[in-house]
Amino acid sequence: MAAGVSVSTVSRILNGKPDVADETRRRVLSVINQLGYVPHAQAQRLAAGRSRTIALLFPLQFVETSHHAGEFIVAAAAAAEAAGFFFHLVTSELAVDNLPTLYSSGQVDGVILMQIELDDPRVRFLRASNHAFTLIGRTADNSGLSFVDLDFEMAVVDAYAHLVEAGHRSIGFLGAPALLRQRELGSAVRTYQGYQMACERFSLDSPALEVDLSAQAMYEATLRLLHAYPQLTAIVSTHGPSIVGALRALQTLERPIPQEMSLLSIATTSTAEMLTPPLTTIDFPSAEMARTAVNLLVRRLQGESNEPEQVLIPPKLIVRQTTAPPSN
């Protein structure tokens, strides 16, 4: 070594250890500057036992079908950077058996799970481990878990309440795909439960269809719904990104919005405001959920909170131009 010291001494200096004489430290740093050496940040973090990296597990199949994906990812990455952490996006369908490797390899300090099932095997594994994680979504039993989620049941109830208060009694429901409810995906199950709660609360006989996550599927489902129930004056949807299909179907049927048909969906502001007419929504706060999940995880990693933190976001109705009292 050009500075005449051992490798271990150089390592202690690079890692900021105090047990090195000042003169030795100055001599080593001088040689380092002359050589133009730049420490490998990741190697230093791993040597310290921390990667300062958090991962968002967002399987590609959901990224490809979710128009909210970009908002989740960008907001999570920005929140991680603001907290001084690196951000890693995992789009593979990570099996439970692979989760230990993600931690033991030192790639990440903690993970954020999405697309949570009511009895999620990933959550069962992590719950039994000592690994740091948070959820965007909820299981059936959330004791001891940190999560952020939208109150999906009340989101649908509030959507119906808005339409009922406007005078609608003939309301159709376009919900999540049957496959997602069969898988017990939390949001799919809870929006359907919200639909059932609304029908009971407002004494409605509201026809429902479960629709695949595409604009074409929404278009076809809306046509089927209105051919079977032409008396409908309003529709509630749970999937904002594909709602353009419903708009196109109503144009095909010459049912002007909102004069002859009111339309309301759970959707992000960006989705709602790009449509014509702008969509009345129960806001889907994807960016807020992502930021909150990152902050909950960071608090856990930095030892600021040892207790589970649970954030259930209440629904927010934003009235725009697709709902009005029924014309009759």
| CATH code assigned at 254 | 3.40.50.2300
The answer to whether residue 2 sits within a structural domain is no
The answer to whether residue 324 sits within a structural domain is no
The answer to whether residue 45 sits within a structural domain is no
CA angle 28, 29, 30 (to 5 degrees): 90
The answer to whether residue 178 sits within a structural domain is yes
Q: What is the pTM of this model?
A: 0.82
What is the count of structural domains for the chain?
3
Phi, psi of 56 (to 5 degrees): -105, 120
Helical (H) or strand (E) element with 276: none
Give the residue ranges of the chain where pLDDT is below 50: 1-3, 37-38, 40-41, 44, 46
CB 112 within 8 A of CB 145: no
- Residues 163 and 277 both lie in one domain: yes
The answer to whether residue 216 sits within a structural domain is yes
Say how many C-beta atoms besides its own lie within 10 A of residue 41's C-beta.
Answer: 10
The answer to whether residue 135 sits within a structural domain is yes
Buried/exposed code over 181-194 (b: 16+ C-beta within 10 A; e: otherwise): beeebbbbbbbbeb
Residue type, 8: S
pLDDT reported for residue 58: 79
Report the distance separating Cα 278 and Cα 13, nearest Å: 60
- Residues 190 and 128 both lie in one domain: no
User: Helical H runs in the chain?
Assistant: 7-14, 22-35, 41-47, 60-65, 69-82, 99-104, 121-128, 152-165, 178-182, 186-201, 215-228, 243-252, 269-274, 286-301
The answer to whether residue 321 sits within a structural domain is no
- Residues 134 and 95 both lie in one domain: yes
- Residues 134 and 200 both lie in one domain: no
- Residues 203 and 303 both lie in one domain: no
Question: Residue 195 in 3-state DSSP?
Answer: helix
CB 39 within 8 A of CB 95: no
Report the distance separating Cα 110 and Cα 206, nearest Å: 43
Phi, psi of 16 (to 5 degrees): 75, 20
- Residues 163 and 254 both lie in one domain: yes
Phi, psi of 142 (to 5 degrees): -105, 15
Residue range of the domain that includes 21: 7-39
CB 87 within 8 A of CB 54: yes
pLDDT reported for residue 307: 86
- Residues 18 and 108 both lie in one domain: no
The answer to whether residue 328 sits within a structural domain is no
Report the distance separating Cα 149 and Cα 210, nearest Å: 22
pLDDT reported for residue 189: 96
Tokens 């690196």 found at:
86
- Residues 30 and 91 both lie in one domain: no
- Residues 76 and 195 both lie in one domain: no
Question: Residue 173 in 3-state DSSP?
Answer: strand
- Residues 185 and 225 both lie in one domain: yes
- Residues 267 and 181 both lie in one domain: yes
CB 243 within 8 A of CB 68: no
